[in-house]
Structure 1
Amino acid sequence: MRTSIATVCLSGTLVEKLHACAAAGFDGVEVFEPDLVACPSSPEEIRALADRLGLTLDLYQPMRDVEGVTEEQFADVLRRAEAKFALMQRLGMDLVLCCSNVGTATIDDDEVSASQLRRLGDLAQGYGVRIAFEALAWGRYVDDYRRAWRIVELADHPAVGTCLDSFHVLSRGHDPSAIEQIPGEKIFFLQLADAPALSMDVLSWSRHHRLFPGEGSFDLPTFVSHVLRTGYDGPLSLEVFNDTFRQTDTRRTAVHALRSLRWLEDAAARLVPERHDVRQLKEAAAPTGFDFVEIKAEDTSELEVLLGQLGLTPRGRHRTKPVTLWSAGDVRVVLNEQHARGEAPHLAAVGLQVPDASATSLRAAELVAPPAHRRTYATEQVIDAVVAPDGTEVYWVDAVAGEPAWVEEFEHGTAPGPTGIGRVDHVNLAQPWDVLDEAVLFHTSVLGLEAQASTQVAGPNGLVRSHVMRSPDGAVSLPLNVAPPVQAHLDQHVAVSCDDVVGLARSARRRGLAFLPVPDNYYEDLSARFGLAAEVVAELQDLDLLYDRDDDGEFVHFYTRTVGQVFLEVVERRAGYAGFGAPNAPVRLAAQSAATH
């Protein structure tokens, strides 16, 4: 199906928005009237630019307060409408969005509204224009798509149809299944937006907090499937009012938007397989585990000491690059000094094991994920990768038993021995404030991870907001954390699992590992909260271990000091504990903040 986007979704001028939409790969745009009014280019110039860029101008919007008014007021509606229709002729546009009346309606009568839309349709038809009538969720009288359709049906005019907007339907909790009773040819346009589950007035919710599909709580695939079953064959169009998107890079947001629409079209297509004109993406299964993590820096020697103290084994240096490999169990840590002048240690890449690497690569390309490029020689394994919204490179390889083939590219190392370390448990990735929603969509759509409920943790410099992205079987977890700028780097770390955290902590301490110090007050509170035996609390306190417990099991863990912008965590999960020790996060953040001053 054709794709479209409202210019209100993007930052910049109208000309910049058109260029960004074309570059991203959209087929058309909705022209938001304030964007045109503020544009120095004439309507004819905008029309010509869209033609050159290969964009259709699909919908002019909005036209407000057109029905449910007195005859005197309606005369003014016709005057405004005629000027609008003449402008649309200059733009080469044939569809205008008319919203249900919010400000001037005084007559709550479907027959009156239908009559006025019919007369408006007569005027529009003379200019080659059609009217798409939409029920706003906060309309004075018409706030339900079913009533809007009833009025359109009563109007019975070929130039009058309805516009369906997912936000206005789903934010009010209306049942979208009745959409299937509307003839597809009378649905003139479809606007799509997601949104988080919030408790606030619907107008503010709409104007500031809409999201692109796949980022919020609405069931958009089912919503779109209802529309598709009517036979609707117009564009799938995004209309997202969001304060963040209106401030971020225009071209990047346009690509982000198209990715969301392709994800949604694919999800809807799987619900309506009879619609062969709706595109399905390459299906790719979620990752089954971590393959490696990469830490990059100009000088990684301090990290080598830290890894050795934890018990990881140096596996050698890459035969063509200034890169070393350390491992223990199924944990592989790559230390990369290539092209890293002036860079402090930071998490640069994550490698994942997937059931079918070629399928994941095809899906990533279809979702316009930007590829990551690294020079690879003929004798080296080529590993596909993309760049996540936060800049982290994400690689994937086919899952294999034992070690992956690329490990053989590291030479003159030591064979690993038993350490008690199992696998990478999770990787925390710090997110800039303006990319979190994009990152959630990226990891769900491209990698098949599932977004868990958002949580907030209080730190000494403000709240840290976290979204955990997890594979269906829990083998891969990527907590995405947005922290205040002064402590953002404190949420970038690698956690590894073990089967005896107490024993591993004692061994690491004997090798000289400096643990993140935990205050005595924490252990007094721990004893009171959980009623642990005094000797258990004493052992935890002696080793700077942290503890949590829920109905499913226990969680014991410790943190290393921070090196550059990264630190390590060692965890032991007992029974069915599946969390991340969130109650301990404020203690960790405070200790790390104190260590940096």
Structure 2
Amino acid sequence: MRTSIATVCLMGTLDQKLVAAKEAGFDGVEIFEPDLIASPKSPEEIRARAQELGLSLDLYQPFRDFEGVGPDLLEQNLRRAAAKFSLMNRLGIETMLLCSNVATARSGDEQLAAAQLRELGVLAERFGVRVAYEALAWGKFVDDYEQAARIVRLADHPRIGVCLDSFHILSKGHDPQAIETIPAAKIFFVQLADAPILSMDVLSWSRHHRLFPGEGGFDLAAFMGHLVRTGYDGPVSLEIFNDTFRQSDPRATAIDARRSLRLLEDETLTWLGGSSGGRTEQMSARPLPAVEPPADINYVELRTGAIDDMRLLLEQLGFSSHGRHRSKSVELWSQGAARVVLGRPEPNQPPPTVAGIGLSVRNPATAFQRAIDLFATEIHRPEGPGDEPLVGVRAPDGSEVFFGREGETAPRWVREFGEPSNRGTGLIERVDHINLAQPWQHFDAGVLFFHSVLDLRSQPSMEVAAPVGLVRSQVLRAADGVVRIALNLVPSGANEDAILPQHIAFASSDVLALAREARERGFHPLDIPANYYDDIEARYDVHPELLNELKKLNVMYDRDETGEFLHFYTHPIGTVFLEVVERRDGYEGYGALNAPVRLAAQYQQRRATREVPA
């Protein structure tokens, strides 16, 4: 599959965008006209630079408001087109994108549009270029790809074809199956974009909320499957209008973009039944190594400068210390199957707090190779004599993901630490979920990373009100629900008052018993206001005895149609805090209605701490 990306997807100068596309492994780029106009380099220099990088220049775009106009305006439009065709010759680009008219068309007569496109085709032939006609979702008269294909067929000129754009097709709810009725020779270009499913005007949706494949809600595997069946073998390009991407590091964005296409290539093969071969298929596609679904979270690594405070907190919750690693500056704490590797931040690096996650999989080598094939960066773990080999990659936010072998009661790497100081209470069983704060530029990339590498599936996203703004939360979970990772988007402009929504939640068999025992060991939970418990009593009619215990222990409560949820929080240590949860009778949620109360309590606690005189 020939891959391409529109320069509009990336931040920076045109040269920076070309370099980022090349480093991410794209075959070519679309030149977005404003990028060319703003460039100090001549078209010939841009052409030479692309050749130097080994990139093809696949498309010049966009050309607007051509067809359906009166004779005088048509003459002006042909003059404009001739100037652009001449420019394309200088750039060495053979195909121009023509968007359906949104402003100047005065007639929706398809015969008129076809006749005018035929005149454009005659002009294009003089310059040796082609025109790919695209139906914009908000086109004045042409907003349907089947209609655009029909007009191209009526135009009947070898230099006139269609451009298929997944956003314009799927945002309008059009069925992509009819793509198979378009001759491959008439499909001149293909643009891909995903998007969240939103209820808003399609122009704003398109201009600000497009996403890379796999980050939104469109069925792009089906779209691609129908395309492959036509026999199309030209470029498959990403055209993403997204405010975040255009403010982010272009290299990181380009890698995320390339990852999305690699995943889509694999998903398209699955949709086609495991092979890109067939009656008319020509586009080559490669499968990824099989997904290795994580069986559990076998450890979480925390990095904090307040390491003594974290040790004390873990002791109060009943964790046992195994001591320091025999060759590394980290230590291990455990209770049940919950393990915390504790260390200090790396020098001269901002601490990610939750620095790493260890996952148990059936075949670590396969999981690792899938991640590498999806353009993740390998992490080389220093190994001392007798250390268990672990393979890992880096997530977009800089945290580490390591793969270990499932089926072991205690992973072999645990032996590299000492024996536990005591066996603890055993009231904590395992890690229930991890909540990772994501900088604004890494949120969508994080969703795609965990989905593509581990096949964690996105749950409906939600926004939680906090004193510092709205916190967007996206939970990804394994099919069996054992591994759950929540990504929280840090509010834009968050200042030092913001509590980063980053924490580890441990599953307990008896939260109330653990809260009582922890208190006996000196633990002070996050204070929950009395108003919250008044609301709980009114909302759920909780038994007075249980309600009093919840209030006394600062334990929060939720209930749904299946079961109950009890949980409490610790005070933050730096930018991390811990949570202990108990799920009763199949409860699957996270106490979403409690999150604003927790965020407000943390905010108040931080401000009160800062205002205490030294």
TM-score normalised to structure 1 length: 0.98
Answer yes or no: is 1:370 the counterpart of 2:377.
Answer: yes
Matches of 1:451 and 1:457, distance apart in 2: 17
Q: Is the 8 A contact 2:318 2:424 kept in 1?
A: no
Indicate the SS of the match to 1:190.
strand
Give 1:312 deviation, angstroms: 0.8
Structure 1 runs (4+) deviating above 6 angstroms are: 341-345
Structural mapping, 1:20-59, within 5 Å: 20-59=20-59
Matches of 1:64 and 1:341, distance apart in 2: 50
Give 1:158 deviation, angstroms: 1.1
Indicate the SS of the match to 2:117.
helix
Q: Is the 8 A contact 1:100 1:143 kept in 2?
A: yes
Task: Provide, for residues 326-373 of structure 1, a one-character-per-residue CA deviation record: whole Å limited to 9, x for no partner.
Answer: 111100011113745797792211111112211111111111112233
Give 1:280 deviation, angstroms: 1.6
Matches of 2:211 and 2:420, distance apart in 1: 49
Residue in 1 aligned with 2:467?
A: 460
1:513 to 494, 504, 523: 523
Task: Provide, for residues 7-36 of structure 1, a one-character-per-residue CA deviation record: whole Å limited to 9, x for no partner.
Answer: 011111111111110111100000111111
Answer yes or no: is 1:562 the counterpart of 2:569.
Answer: no
Residue in 1 aligned with 2:594?
A: 584
Matches of 1:321 and 1:424, distance apart in 2: 24
1:553 to 563, 583, 586: 563
Q: How many aligned residue pairs are there?
A: 597
Indicate the SS of the match to 1:491.
coil
Give 1:497 deviation, angstroms: 0.8
Q: Structure 1 pair 452/127, CA: closer, same or farther in 2 (3 Å)?
A: same
Q: 2:57 corresponds to which letter in structure 1?
A: L
Structural mapping, 1:2-401, within 5 Å: 2-272=2-272, 273-276=274-277, 277-337=284-344, 339-340=346-347, 346-401=353-408
Task: Provide, for residues 303-340 of structure 1, a one-character-per-residue CA deviation record: whole Å limited to 9, x for no partner.
Answer: 11111111111122210112111111100011113745
Matches of 1:415 and 1:223, distance apart in 2: 57
Matches of 1:236 and 1:206, distance apart in 2: 19
Matches of 1:368 and 1:224, distance apart in 2: 21
2:479 to 472, 479, 504: 472
Residue in 1 aligned with 2:453?
A: 446
TM-score normalised to structure 2 length: 0.95
Matches of 1:62 and 1:298, distance apart in 2: 52
1:536 to 546, 549, 552: 546
Percent of pairs identical after alignment?
Answer: 55
Task: Provide, for residues 480-530 of structure 1, a one-character-per-residue CA deviation record: whole Å limited to 9, x for no partner.
Answer: 112332455441111111111111111111111111111111111111111
Most deviating of 235-244 and 392-401: 392-401
Q: Is the 8 A contact 1:220 1:264 kept in 2?
A: yes
What is the alpha-carbon root mean square deviation over aligned residues? 1.5
2:427 to 406, 420, 424: 420
1:496 to 487, 506, 513: 506
Q: Is the 8 A contact 2:428 2:508 kept in 1?
A: yes
Matches of 2:581 and 2:504, distance apart in 1: 11
Indicate the SS of the match to 2:455.
coil
Residue in 2 aligned with 1:596?
A: 606
Q: Is the 8 A contact 2:352 2:398 kept in 1?
A: no
1:527 to 534, 537, 545: 537
Q: 1:2 corresponds to which letter in structure 2?
A: R
Give 1:100 deviation, angstroms: 0.8
Name structure 1 gaps, 5 residues minimum. Answer: none
Q: 2:35 corresponds to which letter in structure 1?
A: D
Most deviating of 163-172 and 581-590: 581-590
Q: Is the 8 A contact 1:189 1:234 kept in 2?
A: yes
Q: Is the 8 A contact 2:32 2:60 kept in 1?
A: yes
